[in-house]
Each structure stands twice: as structure tokens, then as C-alpha cells.
Amino acid sequence: MANRQALEGAFKAADARLERMLPLMTSYADDRLLDDGGKWTVRDCLCHVAASARVSGMGQRALARLEGNAPAPAPGAPTVDERNQEQIASRATRSVREIVDETREAHAAAWADIVAMTDATLDTKVPDMYPWRPPLSVGGIILRTLENHEGGQLDRIEAALKSRTRWL
């Protein structure tokens, strides 16, 4: 189980990392990432982070699937690339500071979702979205989403920043 202390610590660490990187993300917002052939900028990746920062939703959706309450996928739903472009376009007029603030607000909302969950809910094992991976608890899925997905995106940003400056 991912206990509440581990989840709270992960949120605090993610928010601190965003704040630490903020000045350089602002300065290098339009610079390209290193690992995608120039597809995304630092800002684009940050937009993706903001769009998915309410990480409690992953655990809630997994629980809904387990309980048979998950909505069916919408026909003609946008592809991952189309969704990512929508996330970037919807934040086009926002500053890097505003996008970081949005991310932190989504983290706070996710934490409120977690606080509202019972220990039994957080401990409920749910099938992983990939059938080859073992089931995780709802809390474990939330923690993995925050640390692996969001953390991985921030790793990509950090790598791009480190390639351009020694101040990180």
C-alpha cells in the first residue's frame, strides 16, 4: 500500500521540484527536449504535466473499472498526440509560472481526493491498465502516476535544462 505519508511526501517533493526548476523553465521554455527528436519544448512538456497533475484520477478510474462503473471509451476519442496538442494549445496564453501554479493546484486537489478516501479504498487492489503488470492498490497507482509519469516528464525537462546550463 502507498500510505498517506508516502503520498503526501511525494506531492511535497514534486511541488518543490517544480519551484526549483521554475526559473530555468521560464528562461528555456521554448527550447526543445532532447529525447523526442525536437517534437516538444520544455513548455509543451510542462503543459502535459499540468494537464495530468490531478493524479488521484488514475486511482479513482482504476477503482471504477474494478467496480464495473467505468464509462466506455468514447468513439472517435482523440489520439494521445491529439490530446497532448489540445493540452498545449489550451495553455498557450499562460506563463510558465501560471502553468506551474496550475500543476500545484491540481496536486492540492488530488491530495484532497486522497484525504477523502478511506484507508480501505486506498488499500483496494485493482488490476493494472496493462495486463502484464501485477495489481496495485489504489494508493499505489496514484503514487506511481505521480512519481513515474509526472516525475518522468520532469526528468525530461530537467535533462533539457541541464544540457543548456550548469545552474540546475
Q: Tell me if 152 sits within 8 A of 55, measured CB to CB.
A: no
pLDDT at res. 72: 72
pLDDT at res. 168: 64
> CA–CA separation, 168 vs 164, rounded Å?
10
> CA–CA separation, 61 vs 126, rounded Å?
10
Q: Rounded to an integer, what is the distance from CA 153 to the centroid of its chain?
A: 8
Domain-wise residue ranges, the chain:
4-70+78-162
In a 10 Å sphere around its CB, with 0-12 CB exposed, 13-18 middle and 19+ buried, how is residue 145 labelled? buried
Over the stretch 26-59, which tens digit does the pLDDT of each residue have? 999 999 999 999 899 999 999 999 999 999 999 9
pLDDT at res. 2: 60
Q: How far is CA 32 from CA 24, 83, 91, 103, in A?
A: 13, 19, 17, 21
Q: Tell me if 151 sits within 8 A of 53, measured CB to CB.
A: no
Over the stretch 139-148, which tens digit does the pLDDT of each residue have? 999 999 999 9
Q: Rounded to an integer, what is the distance from CA 8 to the centroid of its chain?
A: 15
> CA–CA separation, 86 vs 47, rounded Å?
10
pLDDT at res. 62: 86
The helix/strand count (H/E) of the chain reads as 8, 2
Averaged pLDDT in 10-residue chunks for the chain of 168 residues? 86 97 97 94 97 94 84 79 93 97 98 96 88 90 95 97 84
CA atoms in the 13 A half-sphere facing the CB of 54: 10
Q: Which CATH architecture has domain 4-70+78-162?
A: Up-down Bundle (1.20)
pLDDT at res. 140: 93
pLDDT at res. 128: 79
> CA–CA separation, 66 vs 77, rounded Å?
22
